[in-house]
Amino acid sequence: MLDFIRNHKRLTQIILLLFIIPSFIFVGIEGYKRFNDTDGVAKVKRSAGPFSFLQKDYVINQHEWDEAVRKQVELMRQQAAAQGRPFDAKLADSKAFKWQVLQQLINKYALQYMVSKENLSVPEQAVIDKIRQVPGLVDAEGNFDQKKYEQILAGRGLTPEGHVAIMGQEMSMQQIPAPIQFSVIPSKTVGKRVINLFTQEREVQKKVFSLAAYKNQVSVTDEDLTNYYNDHAKQFTIPEHADIELVVLDQATADKSVKITDADLQNYYNQNKDRFATPEQRRAQHILILVPRNAKDADKEEARKKAEDVLAQARANPTRFAELAKAYSQDPGSAKNGGDLGYFARGKMVKEFSDATFALQKGDVSDIVQTEYGFHIIMVTDIKPAVPKTLAQVRESVMQELKRAQVAKKYAEMSETFSNMVYEKSDSLKPVADAMGLQVHTFKDLQRDPEAAAKQNPMLANPTLLEKIFSDDCVKGKHNTESVEIAPQVLVSARIAQHYPAALVPFEKVKADIQTAVINQKALVLAKAAGEAELANLKAGSTPAGFSAPEKVSRPKLAQSGRLDMAPVMKADASHLPAYIGAERPDEGYVIYRVTKVIIPEKIDPRLEEAMNRQMTGTSSAQELYAYIEYLRQQAGVELLVKKPDEEDKK
């Protein structure tokens, strides 16, 4: 498992492409399961439309925020592993990062609000066509590998139907920002100016006040050397490190031990048959007598009496319900349609309204139903019963769901055994490895620093794991670490085979290096003083002397050659020539640059111009999109229920 990401980069990239639609305003893939509304962190209007006021607002709670952070961290971890670079775990722990994820989550719901308002959708076939274009899932003959697709989905806890629904939702949301992103036309004047600055060449000379020229003026004492050694102790310290053993329990291990029989499948389907059916829907009309939230008791009583009067008329002649709704209902969206709300499933409306509707039979008129909006009279006009599906129709969905449930159960059992064994038999990892069929991995020279650990394997960079490994219990007690979850459904335990404390290299071994460093340090002070004095004289009008032959530099040339020594040249104010600028170069001395000419190319490479125009268009599009998202947030009535990190820090 530890080598999986490293050895299957291609598959990892396919998974990332398959499940992530690249956009800075989305956070991974969000399922449809909602949790309770306690611990709310933000609120967004649920949808738009003629009866939106009957629907609950989205309340983003702490659990959902935590889940979004976890998914984003896992995505970043996978991307880092696929690209062979270390993952910065400290970033993922920062308040600023978590706050950014919350804003992205809010942006997503604001977009969903607008999708609902504009009735936007994407044909299912368009979604399927998009999925069938994923590299790695299409063979040389152009055939789509359905089996591999389903295997990848299963690994993500999804079915094909669920994935198509999620992709359709994401693609629908992309229709909102797309016109903004692709309609921006950046200023040609600004673009030309930026391209000129990027492509211009500067003819430059330089004069170096080298370290070598001042070294003979430097004297170094033993005290200087001792002070440098003490002041730079970290530089001469070999970090604490250890050779470790490690075992991993992941969901894949549990998956191997789970077998689903046809009988298991049939039993699970029989027990959950209703869940695999198309849910019952009701069509209803309603009459609303509004009651403001701050209404006085007398006003509430008057509204109730009015509702009772209308109810009496509706029950006396139900065929007049639409007529009564047009005459009395104060729902501006549905009144003109005779109070018709269309079809909706249980739970889609506020609880009181939904419960009352689904307690009625077709043609029934309800009693007065009170919600936070006022008094409702409801009549059910049609019922679409739940439509069951045969096992054959939903076999794959049932299989995936049952497999997920059994693997989750098995993993829970195994994780408990794993955690107990590494604790109870704490002097070795072999017992748990033998009992559970796990491999004992070894790593040498592991350091406390996550970045250094990540170079060995990204999964070792977990801060909690490193803290446990280098704890007194592991270092001095020679015990296993307790089980640590380093990723979702990935538990590890480690032990130290050999520990090496941090050690300061003896002074005598590094004395020669210290002497060189101190001499250079003192020589640089002298070189800089001389150089700055010369620079002041040149800017005052003195005659230049001792400069090198001119050479031409530009931003692209510096970037390609890595000539960091010439970087200050492009920062010099070239409005008046010659222009002078000085820079300290610790490894060279002090350098004065003399810019004598600025050359604007007569012709610009069309490919470069096109690339820069695309970049400027992208920047402008991002700014426009940011402004539009802010507008959407206002339209969606976004309400933050928690304080920004900087506001919390001021407490």
Residues 6+ apart with CB under 8 A from 432: 247, 418, 421, 422, 425, 438, 493
Could you check whether 4-184+626-649 and 278-384 share the same CATH topology? no
Q: Cβ neighbours of residue 575 under 8 Å, at least 6 residues apart? A: none
Q: Which CATH architecture has domain 278-384?
A: Roll (3.10)
The correct answer on CATH 1.10.4030 for the domain covering 4-184+626-649 is yes
> What are the extents of the domains in the chain?
4-184+626-649, 201-238+506-599, 241-261+392-501, 278-384
Return the biggest CA–CA distance within the chain: 112
216/589 Cα distance (integer angstroms): 14
- Which segments of the chain have a pLDDT < 70? 1-39, 46-56, 81-90, 92, 118-119, 140, 154-158, 177-188, 559-562, 646-651
pLDDT of residue 555: 80
Residue 83: the pLDDT is 66
Can you read off the two tokens belonging to residue 276? 């695999």
Tokens of 319: 């065929």
Query: What size, in residues, is the chain?
Result: 651
445: left (phi over 0), alpha (psi -120 to 50) or beta: left
Q: Which of 368, 354, 246 is nearest to 301 (CA)?
A: 368
Q: Where are the alpha helices (DSSP H) in 20-94?
A: 62-82, 89-92
- Cα Rg of the chain, angstroms: 34
Instruction: Please state, in angstroms and rounded to a whole number, the distance separating the CA atoms of residues 352 and 372.
Output: 9
Positive or negative: CA dihedral 323, 326, 328, 330:
positive
Is residue 280 within 8 A of residue 274, CB to CB? The reply is no
Pull the structure tokens for residue 510. 């590094």
pLDDT of residue 561: 64
What per-residue confidence (pLDDT) applies to 518? 96
pLDDT in the model for residue 628: 81
Task: Please give the C-alpha separations between residue 364 and each of 283, 284, 315, 357, 575, in angstroms, as whole numbers.
Answer: 12, 10, 9, 9, 84
Return the DSSP state at 361.
P
- CB under 8 Å to 647, separation ≥6 — which residues? none
Beta bridge partners of residue 492, listed in sequence order: 248, 484
- Cα(58)–Cα(40) distance, integer angstroms: 10
Query: CA 308, CA 375: separation in Å to the nearest integer?
Result: 9
- Cα torsion 615, 26, 131, 404: sign: positive
Quote the pTM value.
0.50
**Residue 212: predicted pLDDT:** 93
What is the per-residue pLDDT for 7?
40
d(CA 429, CA 437): 12
- In this predicted structure, what is the pLDDT of residue 130? 81
**Cα 169 from Cα 175, distance rounded (Å):** 10
d(CA 407, CA 259): 9
Measured distance CA(422)–CA(482) in Å, rounded: 7
Q: What local confidence, expressed as pLDDT, does residue 476 receive? A: 93
